[in-house]
Chain A
């Protein structure tokens, strides 16, 4: 693998940047692998990367039906934070946060992780009580957090309408300084490049049509393009399509796939240097380095696999944004899109063994999977390497919906993705 550096950039500038090595190979799959990962999004590629790098399992294939990082990895609003309420979720997302903090160095690929902080606004007394509780819980778990009052919020985001004339006045916020944003595509590309360099085969344009199961044990996958590919263990990381794959394996998951929409504005001069979210008015925004406002909507309440949602959902989100930022009222929106998110009843993921032996699922991240990408990949890789779940993943077994040990994160997950 070609090492990226400032010197390399200078060197290649002399040949007009025409001689850069290809970032990853485009191999034909082998007949058999130790581990097959179905799904080449951020989480799947991170899993492959950590499997090869940290756990020494390099005979790995990632099978992707489209192109790498072309699903929800390309469609999210790139926010990274770890201020979750419950211990189980907080530990998992904080594990991811710690990996984010060294990720660009680790991958030798600039994922543009920018810790610009994240505000979760409170508009009612109950919001503020919940914020205090969550910040206290975060601090006990070693996660940074502060409770801010209206004046302190105003100082951080001068363009936010903090007046008491607002329909839902800002009473305060929780503030996580280490939260931020990252460049979503670079995360997928960085992990793909790293995995490829360690010998992982990235198989694109190949849809898994069936899982091959013999005597209750998964032994491989069947693809249209390359026929059967065998493996000792199979990990499915396919987000919105998890239920479809689970059905192939003969069991059900407590997931429902919903459209989740987002939109970006035309690029404008720097005005918002942090992430602002509000569960109450149901909108959130940040500004990308390019200058466009990145705005996330809520999910459409109906099930859908169509990667598009209803206009009314977008309209509600824009109403919330204009309510919070009257100054944005004349900004024009450039693009709007949808992804399919697999939501769990308790707003927490499923990282789990399944009724089929050697088949593992990493799914159910719902509206907030991007922030967990490295952590999710790391714990899932550990689980796939050892054949038993990583301690951080154990509370997220799919069997929690039978024994009732849910991790109810609706409060901290909220609208925030």
Chain B
């Protein structure tokens, strides 16, 4: 069970109030009609699935209903950082691995 800090409510709440909404920082293609099938397929279906540091989007569904980003270790489940949409993460994975 996670205790997640909502950066809008400024409080720790239990995981059940939240939903994960998948990988964070995915930009919709600016001109979808110009995408090749491969580019569109990758935008639609291909998601990072690292064993280690992962940036994901969560929504405080049973609270303020706002979306925010969480940096989490998918092996230890430790939450490294919580930050608002539009902000950049300060904890990132080593590029080497």
Contact = CB atoms under 8 A, between A and B. Distances in A.
Chains A and B bind each other? yes
Interface of A: 241, 243-244, 252-257, 301-306, 308, 310-312, 342, 345, 401-404
B56 A302 contact: yes
A254 B46 contact: yes
Contact of A255 (B2, B49, B51): B49
B37 A243 contact: no
B76 interface: yes
Interface stretch (B5-13, B14-22, B25-33, B82-90): B14-22
A340 to B, nearest CB: 9
A253 B49 contact: yes
Contacts of A306: 74-77
B45 A254 contact: yes
A304 B50 contact: no
Nearest to A241: B51
Interface string B30-61: 00000001100110111111110010100000
Contact of A254 (B22, B47, B74, B76): B47
A404 B48 CA distance: 20
A324 B42 CA distance: 41
Instruction: Classify the secondary structure of B's interface with A.
Output: mixed
B1 interface: yes
Contacts of A345: 44-45
Contact of B49 (A257, A308, A310, A401): A257
Given A304-B77, A401-B45, A402-B41, A312 B16 contact: yes
Contacts of B20: 301-303
Contact of B51 (A244, A401, A403): A244
Contacts of A310: 1-2, 15
Contacts of B19: 301
Nearest to B97: A247
A312 B46 contact: no
Contacts of A244: 51
Contact of A256 (B1, B44, B47): B47
B74 A402 contact: no
21 contacts: A241-B51, A243-B49, A252-B42, A253-B46, A253-B49, A254-B46, A256-B49, A257-B74, A301-B19, A304-B74, A306-B76, A308-B77, A310-B1, A311-B1, A312-B1, A312-B15, A401-B44, A402-B41, A402-B42, A403-B37, A404-B41
